Amino acid sequence: METSKITGDRIREFLEKGKRFDDRKPEEFRDIEIELGVSKKAEGSARVRIGKTEVIVGVKMDVMEPYPDSADKGNLIVSAELTPMSSERFESGPPKFPAVEIGRLTDRAIRESKFIQMEKLCIKKGEKVWAVYIDIYSLNDDGNLVDAAGIGAIAALKSAKMPKYNEETGRVIYGELTDKKIPLSKDIPIVITAYKIGNFWLVDPTTEEEDISEARVTVGATPEGIISSIQKGNSRELDIEDFENMIDMTEKVRKKVFSTIEKSLD
Amino acid sequence: MTPKVFKRPDGRKPEETRPMTAKVGVIPNADGSAMFSFGDTVAIAAVYGPKKMHPQHSQNPEKGTLRCNYNMLSFSVSERARPGPNRRSMEISKVTEWALEPVLMIDKYPNMVVDVHINILQANASTRCAGINAAALALAHAGIPMKEMVSSVSIGKLDKNLVVDLIKEEEDFEEGEGATDIPITLTTGGKITHIQLDGKINSKELKEVLKLARKANKEVYEVQKKALKESIKF
């Protein structure tokens, strides 16, 4: 069901007083819970809850030919599916744009931050490299699936163990994991999306807040403030100064989010 | 010590765009059309509509719908591109809609749709920016009421140097901090309708990027304005 106008008006009235329906401040996240190793068959997996929003993310690995423009680097393939079970708004069938976008935003935050050390995933230059598949599924949508997907992808990657590889056959031996982790760097990209409603920016919206927001900006960056990806969404123009203030705001939020999830990632 | 001026592969100054050309009215069948190029990057856009939205259940009684379709021709890049839509083109189509919609008075056309078809004939980076510039021109040419123009340009950070209007060779730059690509679309009044970023940058540098974008966008706007004026015959 779409959010009604009367609910939207009420959300705006609340924001004028700096308030939200669930008593949060505009720049405050809901509680984040991370559960690791939720799928035994996956090389790494995580279930992330942000309030009532929930996603499950799995990492699988395979050995394949590298792409021609990165002959000595591993491959990263990220996909997202908005499952019909997670909201009455989602239908089965080939992925529509919202799912494609979540996959691509997660992909770019991870790829551009160089979080995965792709050069260490090369087995034989130009012939065989490791491929890392990150697959994201929504389990329950109550807004902000994008940020949940980003956290889930990081958590799943950090928890993953490389599978065994048979050099003679050139194939992966599934079901037998090594103790080796996926080579990761210290630059952990955390995706934070800011949503504009009227004159206000807020983060981690519920579905109702998400519905009435007029613009959003997704920013992937490390807690240290190195930005690796940005994408503006929706049709409302933004003042340059307002945009800059929003970037500063997401930096603060990111530090806070990271400090609350840091422990659950190890 | 004066800072060393960064050498770009094609010899341009850091704040220099490639030669830009724009032409309005390139597809006779369309209600509006235009070509826009940054050097070797060539985009054409054609507008069909406003027309009745079909199927009927897709109609919006409150306002019209803008539908953009960005497509790269298979021979527009070095290694042949697989024809047809992919995840990248889906995303670019959507951000193009978002980039254009704020200036479009589409609320005047309830239950209608405006189709914008963008084809990249030749690609040397910044294709989405060229596409948006061509699309904005085509919409104006089609006579869809607009509050102002939008102009798009890519800003790059190569290692620590900011440059305007990236080419492919610069996108693939790997020295130092590598390449950061930031396509930005601004309204004539200087508001952001589209921004994307891939790479590594801090918020201080990002502010410099926005300043540079504002300057470069004005140049793009002048080219667009000139093309529109030329299309009117007295």
The residues spanned by each domain of chain A are 8-265
d(CA A90, CA A83): 6
Alpha helices in chain A (DSSP H): 5-16, 97-113, 145-159, 207-212, 240-261
- Residues forming beta bridges with residue A52, ordered by sequence position: none
**Does the distance separating the beta carbons of B198 and A237 come in below 8 Å?**
no
What letter would DSSP give residue B6? Answer: P
pLDDT at A230: 98
Residues of chain B with pLDDT under 50: 1
Backbone angles phi, psi at B160, to 5 degrees: -110, 5
Which H or E run contains B215? helix B203-231
- For residue B84, the 8-state DSSP code is S
Q: Which of A100, A113, A228 sits opposite B87 (nearest CB)?
A: A100
Of B101, B103, B199, the CB nearest to A112: B199
Q: What would you measure as the largest C-alpha separation in chain B, in angstroms?
A: 67
CATH 3.40.50.12500 assigned to A8-265: no
B32 conformational bin, left if phi > 0, alpha if psi -120 to 50, beta if neither: beta
- Residue A197: predicted pLDDT: 97
Minimal CA separation from A227 to chain B, in Å: 5
Give the Cα separation of B81 and A14 in Å (integer): 50
A259 min Cα distance to partner chain B (Å):
20
Which residue of chain B has the CA closest to A107?
B198
The per-residue pLDDT for B80 is: 86
The two tokens of residue B129 are 């920016």
Residues 6+ away with beta carbon under 8 Å from B104: B66, B114, B139, B144, B145, B146, B147
Q: Give pTM, 2 decimals.
A: 0.90
Q: Write out chain A residues lying below 8 Å of B79, CB-based.
A: 68
Q: Tell me whether residues B95 and A232 touch, CB distance under 8 A.
A: yes
Quick one: pLDDT at residue A78? 97
Give CA–CA dist B234/A25, Å, rounded.
59
| Residue B86: strand, helix, or coil | coil
At residue B3, the pLDDT reads 55
Q: How far is B2 from chain A (nearest CA, A)?
A: 27
H or E stretch at B48? strand B41-52
Nearest to A104 among B87, B102, B202 (CB): B87
Per-residue pLDDT tens, chain A, 266 aa: give them.
789 999 999 999 999 999 999 999 999 999 999 999 999 889 999 999 999 999 999 999 999 999 988 999 999 999 999 998 899 899 888 889 999 999 999 999 999 999 999 999 999 999 999 999 999 999 999 999 999 999 999 999 999 999 999 988 888 998 888 999 999 999 999 999 999 999 999 999 999 999 999 999 999 999 999 999 999 999 999 999 999 999 999 999 999 999 999 998 87
**Fold (CATH) for B20-226:** Ribosomal Protein S5; domain 2 (3.30.230)
pLDDT at B234 (0 to 100): 63
Pick the closest to residue B98 from B66, B120, B58 (CA basis): B66
Q: Please name the residue of chain A whose CA is at the shortest distance from the CA of residue B189.
A: A239
What are the residue ranges of helices labelled H in B166-202? 168-171
Q: Which residues contact A123 (CB under 8 A, 6 or more apart)?
A: A63, A129, A130, A165
pLDDT score for B220: 98
